[in-house]
Copies of this chain bind each other. A is one copy, B any other.
């Protein structure tokens, strides 16, 4: 049935009984969900029962590249990892690029499902059809770079690609991520799910290739996309040179680069210290994901003080925010160090930094003191404390244990008024946009099926001023319900499912995203979708994820924003005075639910589900 793009096979590995099975990919899956996160959400919904412990053997980890992965389509090196998130209890989906996803396709799999729980630490090795569960005794406890190297040595294959967890995942930190090379499937604690299964790593190498339905159509589709990429005023001229960290300057100008746990946005604006000009003094060169002509990933080297010589791939913008702006740290070398240390420990930089910033505010406000922190001076701007805290969190040592599961759970343990300063939605810490000055972006945080997640419905209209589908006022709530639906559905369908790099959508093809995906899918897979049908797949994904979350008890009450965003205006800068009032959020939610065809409680209506075939 599959003419191209798909291998047609699911690899299912049960760590409890050590069984390894190959199953055919169900025929309807590709048509309805394309791949990647689409497959992830569908399989999670079907296979993971209500109410299970995300860190128990009943949870599953679903790795899914997309139909374009491993083809000559640029920017399609990615895969989605989907699970029930131990951080939020909702759908946990995180994407990562590099080379691992491509090797999984080359090995012959569209999906890999990991089930159960091994008694002892193991890793999985995949070489085409040879799939083995091996003892991880040699690497258990190791950081991620060492883990990858030692497994390569043990398999006597330096070309194998490895996704693994570090100490944070082993210690079941709900902020733990999954690392391949120096890239992270960062958010929602998926590393803790691996850790809970006693699964240290997955090594994969494939010798196959991906069939193409029509090489001629593919050439046309690629040319179309390449032209859009070339015409982008941002993609090659700026983004390819600077990568995401250039956003520090842009957001500072807009007045929405979060400062000191959002208490000093527009006041603490370290653009001189960690903005583009300073970043360039630390730049070493770029790294490329498989088949990517852009290469946004920048290697940076810490150059002064105690962190000199520490190299990081990144830090990406989000990390500049989480270890920079929101912790009040303006030491670029400490941020670079913290980024690399996080990758080695396997802990999510956004959630870790935001959780530390939360604790810093509690400390400065006197809600916690040295007795609580074990003597640590958790003050804003104290970069040594920020760096050291990462290790304590990954190892659950001392006060690190309190922060190890993120700001929501930390606030529950600390009590008092601390919840007011915990910057999360549904347990997922806020990314680096003060949404008081970007309200569709805020609505997306409130409604994304993964919690506060910039990547599930990025409002590039507000952040970069791109007037597609139309110009917007970032301070206004007008039309933001429908806009957020569009942002979420298009993102899901054109990035998360096929799987394509999201930067392409934001920066190169926003006006023609669904057309572009339609072109590429037809060329590669032979399946035809109209642009509207593409968007509909995104809608289906968001609805099914919503149903999963509803089954877990989530509803309108959880489509919320942190107290501070709803009550406290930004103090200074170009977004001074702005906030999202409770009433504004409610209005936006009403409009959003209405645009989605959901009822007032945010539950998908029967009509909508039928329309989507759910």
Contact = CB atoms under 8 A, between A and B. Distances in A.
A311 B153 contact: no
A338 interface: no
Contacts of A285: 137-138, 150
A454 to B, nearest CB: 28
A309 interface: yes
Contacts of A395: 308-309
Contact of A301 (B142, B152, B153, B159): B142
Interface string A130-160: 0000000111011101100110110000110
Contacts of A310: 143
B138 A309 contact: no
A309 B392 CA distance: 12
A142 B309 contact: yes
A303 B285 CA distance: 34
A533 interface: no
A558 to B, nearest CB: 36
A481 interface: no
A568 interface: no
A167 B299 contact: no
A284 B138 contact: yes
A264 interface: no
Interface in A308-335: 308-311
A152 B287 CA distance: 12
A303 B397 CA distance: 13
Contacts of A308: 167, 391, 395
Given A158-B159, A309-B345, A145 B142 contact: no
Contacts of A150: 284-285, 299, 311
Nearest to A141: B301
A400 to B, nearest CB: 12
B391 A143 contact: no
A417 interface: no
Nearest to A394: B309
Nearest to A154: B285
Interface in A295-312: 299, 301, 303, 306, 308-311
A142 B311 contact: yes
B345 A139 contact: no
Contacts of A391: 306, 308-309
Interface in A354-396: 391, 394-395
Contacts of A159: 158-159
A57 B7 CA distance: 57
Given A150-B299, A153-B287, A309 B145 contact: no
A138 to B, nearest CB: 4
A311 B138 CA distance: 11
A166 B141 CA distance: 25
Interface in A147-180: 149-150, 152-153, 158-159, 166-167
A311 B146 contact: yes
A152 B145 CA distance: 14
Given A153-B287, A158-B159, A287-B153, A141 B309 contact: yes
Contacts of A152: 158
A152 B158 CA distance: 10
Interface string A338-354: 00000011000000000
A301 B395 CA distance: 15
A145 B143 contact: no
Contacts of A309: 141-143, 166-167, 344-345, 391, 394-395
Contacts of A146: 311
Nearest to A286: B138
Contacts of A142: 284, 301, 309, 311
A212 to B, nearest CB: 23
A141 B303 contact: yes
Contacts of A303: 141
A221 to B, nearest CB: 26
A138 B345 contact: no
Nearest to A307: B391
15 contacts: A137-B285, A139-B284, A141-B284, A141-B303, A143-B309, A143-B311, A145-B145, A145-B149, A146-B311, A158-B158, A159-B159, A166-B309, A308-B391, A308-B395, A309-B394
Complex A-B, nearest 5 residue pairs according to Cβ-Cβ distance, in ascending order: A138-B285, A158-B158, A146-B311, A158-B159, A167-B309
Interface of A: 137-139, 141-143, 145-146, 149-150, 152-153, 158-159, 166-167, 284-285, 287, 299, 301, 303, 306, 308-311, 344-345, 391, 394-395
Given A142-B311, A308-B391, 16 more contacts: A137-B284, A137-B285, A138-B299, A141-B284, A141-B303, A141-B309, A143-B309, A145-B145, A145-B149, A150-B285, A153-B287, A158-B158, A167-B308, A308-B395, A309-B345, A309-B394
